[in-house]
Chain A
Amino acid sequence: MDVIANLGIGLQAALTPTMLWYCFIGVLLGTFIGVLPGIGPLAAISLLLPITYYIGPEVAIVMLAGVYYGAQYGGSTAAILLRLPGTASSAVACIDGNPMARNGRAGVALFITTIASFAGAITGLIILIFFSPYIAKLGLKFGSAEYFSLMLLGLVAACTFSDSPLKGGAMVVLGLLLSMIGTDVNTGVIRYTFGFSELSSGLSLVALAMGIFGVADIIRNINTIDTSRLNERFTMRSMLPNRDDWRLSLPSMARGSAIGSFFGTLPGTGASISSFMAYATEKKLAKNPQRFGKGAIEGVAAPEAANNASAQTAFVPTLTLGIPGDITMALILGALIIHGITPGPQLITSQPELFWGLIVSFIIGNILLVLFNIPMIGVWISLLKIPYRLLYPTILIFISVGVFSVSNSIFDIYTVIGIGILGYVLNMLRFDPAPLLLGFILGPLMEEHFRRALLLSRGSLDTFIDRPISLTILIITGLAVCFIIASSVRRRLRALRTAKESHAS
Chain B
Amino acid sequence: MSMSKLTLKVNHELFGGLLLIGIGAYAYYHGQQYAFGSLARMGPGFLPQVLSIVLCAMGGILAVTSQLKPSSAIDLQLGQVLVVAASMALFALLLRPAGLAPAAFVGVLVSSWADREITWPGRITLALVVATLSSLIFIAGLGMNMPLWWG
Contacts and interface: CB of A to CB of B under 8 A. Distances in A.
Interface of A: 51, 54, 166-167, 169-170, 173-174, 176-177, 180, 184, 186-187, 189, 191-192, 215, 218-220, 222-223, 388-390, 392-394, 396-401, 404-405, 408, 410, 413-414, 416-417, 420-421, 424-426, 428-431, 447, 450-451, 454-455, 458-461, 492, 495-496, 499
A424 B54 CA distance: 23
B107 A400 contact: yes
A394 B77 CA distance: 20
Nearest to A170: B58
B40 to A, nearest CB: 3
Contact of A455 (B12, B41, B59, B95): B41
Contacts of A492: 65, 68
B140 interface: no
Given A180-B48, A396-B87, A492-B68, A223 B114 contact: yes
B20 A180 contact: no
Given A389-B118, A428-B12, A394 B59 contact: no
Interface string B126-143: 110010011000100011
A398 to B, nearest CB: 7
Nearest to A226: B117
B40 A170 contact: no
A451 B80 CA distance: 44
Contacts of A220: 77
A424 B13 CA distance: 15
5 contacts: A173-B55, A174-B55, A191-B31, A223-B115, A394-B133
Contacts of A219: 77, 80-81, 84
Contacts of A416: 88
Interface residues of B, number: 72
Interface string B28-44: 00110011001111111
Contacts of B55: 170, 173-174, 177
Contacts of B45: 191
Given A170-B59, A223-B116, 14 more contacts: A51-B142, A166-B61, A169-B58, A180-B51, A222-B84, A389-B118, A390-B126, A397-B108, A400-B88, A410-B96, A421-B81, A430-B12, A447-B47, A454-B39
Contact of B91 (A174, A192, A413, A447): A413
Query: When A and B form their complex, which 7 residue pairs have the shortest distance between CB atoms, in order from nearest?
Result: A459-B40, A389-B115, A189-B44, A459-B39, A413-B92, A429-B16, A184-B44
A449 B62 CA distance: 30
Nearest to B108: A393
A429 B14 CA distance: 9
A376 to B, nearest CB: 24
Contacts of B108: 393-394, 396-397
Contacts of B27: 177, 192
B54 A180 contact: no
B85 A421 contact: yes
Contacts of B39: 454, 459-461
B88 A459 contact: no
B80 A223 contact: yes
B98 interface: no
A379 B96 CA distance: 39
A400 B146 contact: no
Contacts of A192: 27, 30-31, 48
Contact of A166 (B42, B62, B107): B62
Contacts of B87: 393, 396
Nearest to B93: A410
Nearest to A175: B51
A455 B40 contact: yes
Given A173-B58, A177-B55, A429-B19, A410 B68 contact: no
A426 to B, nearest CB: 8
B126 A393 contact: yes
B34 A189 contact: yes
Contacts of B52: 177
A453 to B, nearest CB: 10
A191 B51 CA distance: 14
A405 B39 CA distance: 40
A171 to B, nearest CB: 9
A499 B68 contact: yes
A186 B42 contact: yes
A278 to B, nearest CB: 28
A189 B62 CA distance: 33
A416 B126 CA distance: 23
Contacts of A450: 47
Given A167-B62, A405-B146, A454-B42, A215 B68 contact: no
Contacts of A174: 20, 23, 55
Contacts of B54: 173
Contacts of B77: 219-220, 222-223
B44 A499 contact: no
A189 B52 CA distance: 18
